[in-house]
Amino acid sequence: MPEKHAETAHRLHLMVCAGTACVSNHSFDVKEALEKEIRKHGLEDEILVVATGCNGFCERGPLLVVQPGNIFYQQLSVKDIPHLVEEHFLKGRPVSRLMYTPPEEKKPVPVLSDIDFFKKQVLIALRNRGLIDPEKIEESIARDGYKAMAKALTDMTPAQIIKEITLSGLRGRGGAGFPTGLKWDMVRNAASTNGGGKYLICNGDEGDPGAFMDRSILEADPHSVIEGMVIGAKAVGATEGVVYVRNEYPLAVKRLQRALSQAREFGLVGEDILGTKFSFDIKIHRGAGAFVCGEETALIASIEGRLGEPRPRPPYPAQSGLYGRPTLINNVETWANVPMIIDRGAKWFSSIGTETSKGTKVFSLVGKINNTGLVEVPMGISLREIIYDIGGGIPGGKAFKAVQTGGPSGGCIPAEKIDLPIDYESLTQAGSMMGSGGMVVMDEDTCMVDVARYFLSFTKDESCGKCTPCRDGTKIMLDILTRICAGQGTEADLELLESLAPSIKDSALCGLGKTAPNPVLTTLRYFRSEYETHIRDKKCPAHVCRELNTYTIDEKICLEVGRGCDVCRRNCASDAIRGEKNTAHSINQEKCIKCGVCLDICKFHAVKVE
Amino acid sequence: MPKLTLEELAKVREQARKRTHLREGGEVRAKVTVHMGTCGIAAGARTIMSALLSVIESRDVRDVQVTNSGCAGLCSREPMITVELAGEAPVKYVDLNPDKMKKIFAEHVLGGKIVAEYALGIGSEKTDFPKE
């Protein structure tokens, strides 16, 4: 046994969030302070401090959940700890000032399950988040880790496993939503080539801006992924597996390494697993961070040590993948779902979700939203529920404008579609896609042309350059969008975008190029008038495109309210502001470089932008 | 660590569950508060707490919440505990020792019958005053 635990049970377990977001907010310092204070009061035999993976409510980190009782503490700092330990853990009086108070309410909500952010979530892939120390395999085992694997290895034939996965309706969580059971069946039926076995790959090359689903699963519960892979290996007859994970995810890599070595020590991966004669081992391959390596053929090339570039399909990896052998490749979240389906059955899993999309989906909810974080929701939930009930709405009372789903490959869904139920089909019909689960919320201050330009600049940079439609097409689209944002766009530009985008979609080699036009197409579809205002009126309605802005000073407010405070003039980098203290100020438009500093700095709201 | 067999995996699971079941939430049958102000600790509250935790562990009880609090105000009768069964009024016990603690646990916490000979009284002081 790797570690011996204390003989007596603890009466309290303090679950400190140690996901990347909380860690970067110094949650390890908080953990250390807790341990120190607990020792100081002689409570170390009674109170256990546990570092868990991401709890999900990243906006409020560092987080601490006290069990039993499910008491939720948030935004902790080291200086809060002595008081917290003395009051709550020594004297038994929970500290309400460290609890979460919803915006516009006065009373804190002490219990995690009463907080709106958590209420509507259904955890399958994230079933162990916040409940286990991901670096201790026993804690995963206590939560039924490797139970489904044991069942699959002893009581099920490969055909039965695949049937269960097929009946569950599970679809790939990495982006395209291909039926998982069908893919497994293809690999199972593929003839072994080169006289060798088959490979299994876990795709953890998460690259969408603002997305952190895979990272959080690997950090919070690496064993769920390992277990899913062993089940998959038995189903398709694979003997070796690779987890491809970005090197920019050091915590995920470390926890996965540790999990693998513990699983190997326990005989849960490697030779003769659980004495069943079935052998399967897993290696970790760290990717260097190219977005295109999330595409399966590029990922395989990268593992083989070649340039991470996609190749035409067919042959699909199921026939000829890693080193030319049949290869089963699924995303991190897909693998994490597998043990639950085997354990609880296809019927249970398919009872959650919609007709075509079963189970749950993990989303990283970011952007202009009150409750930034990681959420897992049943398929079919509406955007409104995600944004308002779970996400707590838009900060500062601003209006919700759009949400970008599916990252740079996805599209913008406008506010009028807020009651759209989320599943693979409805998102595709709306012009976007499920993607891997990024959800970027935008408010009224967002310029949709600028958003399209941002995503195109990302895909242009990440295009591997192998095929012309993607290499040149993204560049041309980006140039056009940049022109429009600078007020130099023409009507012909819109026509060109409209004809170029579908032809790139049709002709690009891989998923990156095929989906890169989506942000342009959806913003054109839903926000065409914004493009037209940029082109015809040379104005940016959201005042984001600076070159189209005109800054002026309301002389009345400047003089009567601000008494000509002169702060703007002193901070103007281009000497464009005239005036002195106690006089009204004004801006010389010829000198103004439209940096917007005066607007940001004026306390009296005398500076206006149009 | 020798490699696990199926049976050993189940055993590891059982063992590990005993240490982590507190996190699972669920209904709590009773809450036991050990009063651990300076007076309580000086009178031996720590041994009461240890006895309570060890009886919970040895009987593998999973739905009793243990907490502590400061001085209950009756320093001369420490160590004291308060037992609250779900839905019932709290009962205070005084002048405890580990054996009495174990008896209260068996008869009151698990059995539902108040151990009258050690009890001080039922109910608590009023703390919820209306705000001005």
Residue A125 lies in a domain: no
Q: Is the pLDDT of residue A590 over 50?
A: yes
**Among partner residues B4, B53, B57, which is closest to A274 by beta-carbon distance?**
B4
Q: What integer is the mean pLDDT of A468-481?
A: 97
**What total of structural domains would you count in chain A?**
5
Q: Which residues of A touch B24 (CB under 8 A)?
A: 131
Asked whether residue A434 falls in the same domain as residue A307, the answer is no
Q: Is the pLDDT of residue A8 over 80?
A: no
Element housing A599 (H / E): helix A597-601
Residue B83 lies in a domain: yes
Q: Name the residue type at position A180.
A: T
> Can you give the pLDDT at residue A216?
95
- Band (pLDDT 50/70/90 cuts) for residue B73 is confident
Q: What integer is the mean pLDDT of A23-29?
A: 95
Contacts of A47 (CB under 8 A, 6+ apart): A10, A11, A12, A13, A14, A38, A89
> Can you give the pLDDT at residue A182?
97
Model confidence pLDDT, tens digit, residues A437-461: 999 999 999 999 999 999 999 999 9
- Band (pLDDT 50/70/90 cuts) for residue A6 is very low
Can you say how many angstroms the Cα of residue A309 is from the centroid of all Cα atoms in its chain? 24
Contact yes or no for B13 and A150 at CB 8 A: no
Residue A240 lies in a domain: yes
Residue B8 lies in a domain: no
Residue A4 lies in a domain: no
What letters, b where the CB count within 10 A reaches 16 and e where it falls short, cover A255-288?
bbebbbebbbbbbbbbeebbbbebebbbebbebe
Q: Is the pLDDT of residue A84 over 90?
A: yes
- Please answer whether residues A94 and A12 qualify as being in contact, where contact means their C-beta atoms are separated by less than 8 angstroms: no
- What CA–CA distance (Å, rounded) separates A260 from A223? 8
Q: Is the pLDDT of residue A1 over 50?
A: no
Of B108, B41, B106, nearest in space to B68 by CA:
B41
> Can you give the pLDDT at residue A7?
47
Over the Cα atoms of chain B, what is R_g?
A: 18
Contact yes or no for A275 and B23 at CB 8 A: no
Q: Is the pLDDT of residue A493 over 80?
A: yes
- What CA–CA distance (Å, rounded) separates A163 from A141? 26
Q: Which residues of A touch B1 (CB under 8 A)?
A: 1-2, 265-266
The C-alpha of A203 sits at a distance from chain B's nearest C-alpha, in angstroms, of 28
Q: What integer is the mean pLDDT of A499-505?
A: 96
Tell me the CB-side half-sphere exposure of residue A466, using CA atoms within 13 A: 17
Burial class (CB in 10 A: 0-12, 13-18, 19+), A316: middle
Residue with tokens 């003769």: A272
- Band (pLDDT 50/70/90 cuts) for residue B132 is very low
Is residue B32 within 8 angstroms of chain A, CB to CB?
Answer: no
Residue A5 lies in a domain: no
The C-alpha of A291 sits at a distance from chain B's nearest C-alpha, in angstroms, of 38
Asked whether residue A307 falls in the same domain as residue A377, the answer is no
**Among partner residues A131, A141, A275, which is closest to B6 by beta-carbon distance?**
A275
Is residue B54 within 8 angstroms of chain A, CB to CB?
Answer: yes
**Among partner residues B3, B4, B20, which is closest to A142 by beta-carbon distance?**
B20
Contact yes or no for B5 and A113 at CB 8 A: no
The C-alpha of A80 sits at a distance from chain B's nearest C-alpha, in angstroms, of 19
Asked whether residue A158 falls in the same domain as residue A270, the answer is yes
Is residue B45 within 8 angstroms of chain A, CB to CB?
Answer: no
> Which one has a higher pLDDT value, B99 or A104?
B99
> Can you give the pLDDT at residue A508?
96
Asked whether residue A169 falls in the same domain as residue A192, the answer is yes
Residue B38 lies in a domain: yes
Is residue B39 within 8 angstroms of chain A, CB to CB?
Answer: no
What CA–CA distances, in Å, run from A208 to A214, A288, A290, A391, A408?
Answer: 11, 15, 11, 20, 7
What CATH number should be reported for the domain holding residue A296?
A: 3.40.50.11540
Residue A129 lies in a domain: no
Candidate from A87-91, A264-268, B51-55 with smallest mean pLDDT: A87-91
Q: Name the residue type at position A210.
A: G
- Band (pLDDT 50/70/90 cuts) for residue A279 is very high
- What CA–CA distance (Å, rounded) separates A443 from A194? 55
Question: Domain containing A496: what range?
Answer: 448-537
The C-alpha of A297 sits at a distance from chain B's nearest C-alpha, in angstroms, of 36
DSSP state at residue A20 = H
Model confidence pLDDT, tens digit, residues A328-375: 999 999 999 999 999 999 999 999 999 999 999 999 999 999 999 999
Q: Which residues of A touch B69 (CB under 8 A)?
A: 91-93
- Please answer whether residues A357 and A424 qualify as being in contact, where contact means their C-beta atoms are separated by less than 8 angstroms: yes
Question: Domain containing B69: what range?
Answer: 26-122
Asked whether residue A235 falls in the same domain as residue A254, the answer is yes
Asked whether residue A573 falls in the same domain as residue A601, the answer is yes
> Can you give the pLDDT at residue A193?
66
Contact yes or no for A113 and B18 at CB 8 A: no
Residue with tokens 């998102």: A427
Residue B62 lies in a domain: yes
Sign of CA dihedral A429, A435, A441, A446: negative
Model confidence pLDDT, tens digit, residues A578-587: 999 999 999 9
- Band (pLDDT 50/70/90 cuts) for residue A104 is confident
- Please answer whether residues A74 and A108 qualify as being in contact, where contact means their C-beta atoms are separated by less than 8 angstroms: no
Contact yes or no for B3 and A154 at CB 8 A: no
Residue B11 lies in a domain: no
Burial class (CB in 10 A: 0-12, 13-18, 19+), A400: buried
What CATH number should be reported for the domain holding residue B107?
A: 3.40.30.10
Is residue B89 within 8 angstroms of chain A, CB to CB?
Answer: no
**Among partner residues B17, B57, B67, which is closest to A92 by beta-carbon distance?**
B67
- Please answer whether residues A374 and A212 qualify as being in contact, where contact means their C-beta atoms are separated by less than 8 angstroms: yes
Asked whether residue A311 falls in the same domain as residue A365, the answer is no
Last residue of one domain, picked from the residues A443, A469, A487: A443
Residue B2 lies in a domain: no
Asked whether residue A250 falls in the same domain as residue A102, the answer is no
Q: Is the pLDDT of residue A486 over 90?
A: yes
Asked whether residue A248 falls in the same domain as residue A372, the answer is no
Q: Is the pLDDT of residue B125 over 60?
A: yes
Residue B90 lies in a domain: yes
Last residue of one domain, picked from the residues A537, A569, A584: A537
> Can you give the pLDDT at residue B72?
78
Asked whether residue A382 falls in the same domain as residue A483, the answer is no
Last residue of one domain, picked from the residues A473, A502, A537: A537
Is residue B18 within 8 angstroms of chain A, CB to CB?
Answer: yes
Contacts of A119 (CB under 8 A, 6+ apart): A113, A389, A390
> Which of A48, A89, A91 is the best mutation test for B, with the most CBs of B within 10 A?
A91
Residue A71, strand partner residues: A66, A111
> Which one has a higher pLDDT value, A291 or A68?
A291
**Among partner residues B4, B25, B46, which is closest to A267 by beta-carbon distance?**
B4
Q: Which residues of A touch B6 (CB under 8 A)?
A: 150, 154, 274-276
Asked whether residue A218 falls in the same domain as residue A265, the answer is yes
Of A404, A411, A523, A515, nearest in space to A463 by CA:
A515
Q: Is the pLDDT of residue A4 over 80?
A: no
Residue B7 lies in a domain: no
Sign of CA dihedral B15, B20, B24, B28: positive
Residue A216 lies in a domain: yes
The C-alpha of B92 sits at a distance from chain A's nearest C-alpha, in angstroms, of 16
The C-alpha of B82 sits at a distance from chain A's nearest C-alpha, in angstroms, of 12
**What total of structural domains would you count in chain B?**
1
Asked whether residue A382 falls in the same domain as residue A427, the answer is yes
Residue A108 lies in a domain: yes
Q: Name the residue type at position A498.
A: E
Q: Is the pLDDT of residue A3 over 50?
A: no
DSSP state at residue A112 = G
Residue A7 lies in a domain: no
The C-alpha of A76 sits at a distance from chain B's nearest C-alpha, in angstroms, of 21
